[in-house]
Amino acid sequence: MTNELTTLRKEVEKLKLQKKNKMALATTTQERDKLLKEISQLEAIKKSPSALKKFGRTYLRGLKKTGSVLWRGITKVSRNLEANAPEFRQMSKGMMGQPKRPTSPMMEMYVPKASPYYSTTPRKMKSVKSRPLKRKMKSPKLKKRKQVKRMKRKSYSNRPSKPKSQMAWDIP
């Protein structure tokens, strides 16, 4: 219990130092006021153990969330990178952290650059699904009598008009 509190106090101290450094760089009075308030809140948190526990819960949870969000963002971005780009190669080499052996320019010309850390085939891009089309709204349901009237009107208007003959009756 006391170990946790001491680690939390150290975290609060680190945060206070960060805020003070930011305050030294702040140009507007609004920023300075905001940072001063945050520093005073951290002082108040540091004094009471219950506030320290509460701070620890929220602060550590926030750190976990930001870490996971950052990792998700990095993985999403890395999916869309072109594997053959020189920037990507440089970045991947830096991430692996292998020391680069000094080679002369003459040796570089003759030695093939085959590295097992990246593939030469381009990655497939994810296909983006288009939005579904909006369907037209159906007309509201009518009562039976009105429906019948509408049907009669339609059938009357859709009937092909026949030319009336002059002699409608047959001559025997």
Domain edges within the chain: 2-61
Provide the whole-model pTM.
0.36
pLDDT tens profile 104-130: 666 665 555 555 555 556 666 666 667
Tell me the Cα Rg of the chain. 38
The Cα-based distances of 80 to 96, 126, 130 in angstroms read 20, 8, 18
Burial 107-131 (b: 16+ CB within 10 A, else e): eeeeeeeeeeeeeeeeeeeeeeeee
Residue 19 in contact with residue 42, Cβ under 8 Å? yes
- Angle in degrees, 0-180, between the axes of helices 49-80 and 29-47, rounded to the nearest 10: 130
pLDDT at 122: 60
pLDDT tens profile 37-86: 888 888 888 888 888 788 777 776 766 677 677 667 667 666 666 666 66
